Structure 1
Amino acid sequence: MDLLNCPNCGEIFVKNSVRDVCDKCYREEEALFDKVYRFLRKQENRASRIERVSEATGAPEKLLYKWLKRGRLHTTQFPNLGYPCDRCGNIIKEGKLCDDCKTGIKGELDIYEKEQERLEKLNKAVYYSQDRRR
């Protein structure tokens, strides 16, 4: 059981796997979610971008990103919605990283692994010196 301060209002609350805000703020978020979902369900609004949804409903972009990341709003139903990559901030539809960042990290890991192998070989190498005193 974790006691935390609500990031929105500062109230103390018990954090659980479903809620990361206090009860009061959770109810406010749920009311906003209903408003956002009703907005997006209208045919003419399904292709809206985050900025438009936020402007039309009053829901902060940060909260919309949270719902997208948690799967409460589905990018398959609303094709122009997305959230920022955790590394570079480019808009993505799934996961935590964009394809470019995934490729970059994989490349960095490959370089690291090769360097580790090289260092391991160097540490195992045996060097012989010739004793010239004989």
Structure 2
Amino acid sequence: MNLDNCPRCGKLYAKNLRDLCPACIKDLDQQYELCATYLRENRGATIYEVSESTEVSIAQITRFIREGRISLMDMPNMGYPCEMCTNTIREGNLCESCRSRLTKDINKLNLNTDRHGYNTKQGNGAYQSVDRHRDKY
């Protein structure tokens, strides 16, 4: 029998598919039912309204959405916060502006890297000196 500590409450439990103790599974299922019932009655609700009305955390509602337990298909105002700026998004982890900013920053870092993989724009230049001498031999 595989035993583990529940990541939510710390109690010892027999491992299962959801990696939570039975008490936490029951609690999460109750939270899901609260959210699902509220959303059936209020299709135009935002994640903040659902959280405030059901007292389920925004992080938990986001997990329900990502797990596919809550569908955004018929919920025009429903979304979850971007992980960087907290703007409301409906898919992925980052909004479009944060994604493009991150891509731009990565491209800028790639341009600052020389052909040997050393960063030429930062540091004290020791790598540049070593590389210059390495190319002579």
TM-score range, shorter chain: 0.7 to 0.9
Alignment of 1:65-76 (within 5 A): 65-76=62-73
Structure 1 moving runs of 4+ over 6 Å: none
Q: Which runs of 5+ in 1 are unaligned?
A: 128-134
Distance 1:40 1:65 in 2: 14
How far, CA to CA, are the matches of 1:11 and 1:27 in structure 2? Answer: 14
CA 1:103/1:2 → structure 2, altered by over 3 Å: closer, same or farther?
A: farther
1:75-119 CA-partner distances (Å, limit 9, x unpaired): 222122222222222221110111111111111111111112466
Question: For the pair shown, which has the larger CA radius of gyration, 1 or 2?
Answer: 1
Q: For residues 40-119 of structure 1, what are the structure 2 equivalents within 5 Å? A: 40-42=39-41, 45-117=42-114
CA–CA distance in structure 2, aligned partners of residues 20 and 56 of structure 1: 28
Q: What TM-score, normalized by structure 1, do the two folds share? A: 0.72
* 2:71 partner SS: coil
User: What is the rounded CA distance, in whole Å, between the counterparts of 2:75 and 2:53 in structure 1?
Assistant: 16
Say how many residue pairs are matched.
123
Q: Normalised by the size of structure 2, how large is the TM-score?
A: 0.71
* RMSD (CA atoms): 2.8
Residue 120 of structure 2 aligns with which residue?
Answer: none
Aligned-residue identity in percent: 28
